[in-house]
């Protein structure tokens, strides 16, 4: 299992709208990186092929997503933040302890995002409850791409 460190990067650029007019927009993207510097470098590298003209990285912040659940479904074109609570029992006091945990899930609706989350969590040994599912403004997510397999690693 790969551990991700997610950074939300905001990009400001001139976008051609459906009516043909150009408009300055700021859009958030998620990038898996080791540092703020690498996050900036990666988002520039990822966005350059898609944006004609100038664009600027206007903000970068560390976000607390612990898991990333993309979808192969073509209609899944939005990203949802799922807040789950893992439930553990404190052995000394006997009380339930809830630990918040966040995932970013690609889906077409909040209902399907929660369904996709539960499917991906099957086999988890810990008990959990989903506290909330909310649509984000995230336009796209760029996880680390694993290096292409070489003959030696097969």
User: Hey, what CATH class is 1-63 in?
Assistant: alpha beta
Residues of the chain with CATH 3.10.20.10: 1-63
* Domain spanning 65-137: CATH 3.10.20: yes
Q: Which two tokens stand for residue 2?
A: 């790969």
Q: What is the pLDDT of residues 64-106, one digit of tens each?
A: 999 999 999 989 999 999 999 999 888 888 888 999 999 999 9
Instruction: Kindly tell me if the per-residue pLDDT of 152 is higher than 80.
Output: no
Q: How far apart, in whole angstroms, are the C-alpha atoms of residue 15 and residue 93?
A: 57
pTM for this one? 0.86
- Contact predicate 86/126, CB 8 Å: yes
């Amino acid at each position: 299992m790969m551990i991700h460190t997610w950074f939300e990067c905001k990009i400001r650029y001139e976008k051609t709208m459906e009516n043909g007019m150009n408009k300055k927009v700021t859009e958030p993207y998620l990038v898996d990186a080791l540092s703020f510097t690498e996050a900036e470098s990666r988002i520039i590298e990822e966005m350059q092929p898609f944006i004609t003209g100038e664009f600027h990285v206007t903000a970068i912040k560390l976000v607390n997503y612990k898991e990333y659940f993309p979808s192969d479904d073509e209609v899944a074109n939005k990203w949802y933040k799922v807040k789950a609570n893992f439930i553990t029992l404190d052995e000394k006091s006997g009380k339930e302890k809830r630990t918040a945990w966040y995932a970013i899930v690609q889906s077409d609706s909040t209902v399907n995002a929660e369904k996709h989350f539960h499917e991906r969590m099957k086999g988890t040994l810990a008990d959990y409850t989903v506290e909330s599912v909310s649509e984000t403004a995230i336009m796209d997510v760029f996880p680390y791409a694993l290096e292409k397999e070489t003959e030696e690693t097969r």
